Amino acid sequence: EVQLVESGGGLVKPGGSLRLSCAASGFTFNNVWMTWVRQAPGKGLEWVARIKDKSDGGTTDYSASAKGRFTISRDDSKNTLYLQMDRLRTEDTAVYYCVTATIPGTTYAFDLWGQGTMVTVSS
């Protein structure tokens, strides 16, 4: 089955750290760009970070709010995507989705989404 399954969310204090994982299955993980998208309670979708596949250099990009605090990485041998989140703030509270585009010829149209993992930053 083609799917993405996130884990690692939870409650953390401001200034703390958390590492999210996303296990991929059913498709060729090492051929796709992977992205984290988040959604704060009652709010819209926010693009957080992206990592390209190795054939495209494996480069990473971050939103302004994530840059310097979050690190996206991938382990193609384990078909797993990660998001290391440090110096967390209350405004980072959100559902975090692992997403990808598997439609041939596109890298931005996210046809595959995980179920999401909730991150709550609160004292």
| Chain mean position to CA 87 | 17
DSSP H helical segments within 12-83, as ranges?
Answer: none
Is residue 36 near another protein by the rule CB under 8 A?
no
Smallest gap from Cβ 108 to another protein, in A, equals 4
Is residue 2 near another protein by the rule CB under 8 A?
no
Is residue 46 near another protein by the rule CB under 8 A?
yes
Site for another protein, residues 64 to 83, rule: CB under 8 A: 64
Place of tokens 């989140």: 85
Q: What is the CA radius of gyration of the chain?
A: 14
Is residue 27 near another protein by the rule CB under 8 A?
no
- Provide the β-strand partners of residue 49: 36, 62
Return the range that interacts with another protein (CB under 8 A); candidates 13-21, 26-34, 83-91, 110-118: 110-118
Strand, helix or coil for residue 90: helix
Tokens of 103: 């439609």
The residue ranges that bind another protein (CB under 8 A) are 44-47, 63-64, 97, 103, 106-111, 113-116
